[in-house]
Amino acid sequence: MSDAVRLHGFFRSSASWRVRIALHMKGVAYEQITYRLRAGEQRSPAYLTVNPQGLVPALEIDGLLLTQSLAIIEYLDQTRPGSPLLPSGAAERARVRALALAIACDTHPVQNLKVLLAVQALGHDEAASNAWAHRVCEEGLAAYAAMVENSGGAFSAGDQPSLADLALVPQIANARRFGVDIRWPRLVAIERACMALPAFSETAPQHQPDFIA
């Protein structure tokens, strides 16, 4: 079994950022392998042998090849001690997963590059596809804000960061790229609490070796 840990991703990929946060929180050192998404490198024959979906991230760890960011994070949470990312109670776990999925299933995939290129292929220009992304991000974050409005603690589900926060913070960054005003005080406060932690700040896109301004 290989001891090497390799993260296939891209600095701007919010799904890759989720996994980088988890790896940092779990103290797992890793090598980054970059795929420039707008250049289509994630659809190269070589990478399709890694992930037939042609998506990032993918993680090589423990002799395994894992895909889908939330599945990767849950694997790390179950196999690496410290900094638990899911609560111990069934009800609390369900709530954290629901928050994470509100971003990872119902927001991010509807505004990612693959969808925006499909919108343009239907005859719309880049401004129209960006307007679509703006709308999706705004609606998704508004729903998330409502879901956490009355929750206690500095983070989405208490006083420790969870899987939900690993989904939220990269999505806020995505939303800003599309001109969304992050006008929800609760989300602003959660983001601030997260970004005060090295696991979030040091794994941010601008600090990655493949960062391009």
pLDDT at 204: 98
Show which of 83, 102, 133 is a domain's final residue: 83
pLDDT at 1: 43
99 and 195 share one domain: yes
Show which of 57, 83, 109 is a domain's final residue: 83
At 95-143, the pLDDT tens digits run 999 999 999 999 999 999 999 999 999 999 999 999 999 999 999 999 9
What mean pLDDT comes out for the span 85-89?
96
72 and 122 share one domain: no
At 23-60, the pLDDT tens digits run 999 999 999 999 999 899 999 999 999 999 999 999 99
CATH of the domain at 73: 3.40.30.10
User: Is pLDDT above 70 for 197?
Assistant: yes
Show which of 83, 110, 143 is a domain's final residue: 83
Query: How far is the CA of 181 from the CAs of 61, 70, 79, 168, 186, in angstroms?
Result: 38, 26, 38, 15, 13
User: Is pLDDT above 90 for 3?
Assistant: no
pLDDT at 32: 97
Task: Tell me whether the omega of the peptide bond preceding residue 57 falls within 30 degrees of 0, making it cis.
Answer: yes
Residue type for 23, please? L
SS3 at position 29:
coil
pLDDT at 82: 86
- If you write DSSP's letter for every residue of 155-196 in order, what string do you get? BTTBSS--HHHHHHHHHHHHHHHTT-----HHHHHHHHHHHT
Any alpha helices (H) in the chain, and if so which ranges? Answer: 14-25, 45-48, 69-79, 90-104, 108-111, 113-121, 126-148, 163-177, 185-195, 198-201
Identify the residue whose tokens are 């042609």.
Answer: 54
Q: CB atoms < 10 A from the CB of 211, how many?
A: 12
CATH of the domain at 115: 1.20.1050.10
11-39: string of b/e by CB count within 10 Å (b at 16+)?
bbbbbbbbbbbbbbbbeeebebbbbebee
Q: Which two tokens stand for residue 141?
A: 């974050």
